[in-house]
Each structure stands twice: as structure tokens, then as C-alpha cells.
């Protein structure tokens, strides 16, 4: 399962993503709402980290 984390604080986004990856999820990160909305509505799956 792939999860999109949308969080403007990069440190918090990294912590959330790390915990999710530890649970075997695929994680994409967006650091702003506009990019997050774009990725969520277009199903873009480019990993940031």
C-alpha cells in the first residue's frame, strides 16, 4: 500500500515516513498542500526520500 504524507515541516514528514516504512508501507512525501493535492489527484508516485 502506498501512502502520501503531506506535511510542510520536513523533519516531521521524515519521521512519519520512516515509521510508515518500518511498517512496510510505500511512502511519498509532499512538503506543501498544492503538490500534495496534485499527487493525490493524479496518482503520481515519485519518491522524494
Sign of the CA dihedral with 10 first, then 15, 16, and 22 last: positive
Q: pLDDT tens digits, residue range 6-18?
A: 999 999 999 999 9
Q: Where does the chain have alpha helices with state H? A: 10-22, 33-42
Segment 1-47, tens digit of pLDDT: 999 999 999 999 999 999 999 999 999 999 999 999 999 888 765 55
Cβ contacts of residue 40 below 8 Å, gap of 6+? 4, 6
Cα of 34 vs its chain's centroid, Å: 13
Q: What is the pTM of this model?
A: 0.81
At 47, phi and psi to the nearest 5? -75, 135
Amino acid at each position: 500500500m502506498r501512502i502520501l504524507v503531506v506535511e510542510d515541516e520536513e523533519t516531521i514528514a521524515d519521521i512519519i515516513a520512516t515509521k510508515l516504512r518500518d511498517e512496510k508501507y510505500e511512502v511519498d512525501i509532499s512538503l506543501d498542500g498544492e503538490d500534495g493535492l496534485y499527487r493525490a489527484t493524479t496518482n503520481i508516485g515519485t519518491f522524494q526520500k
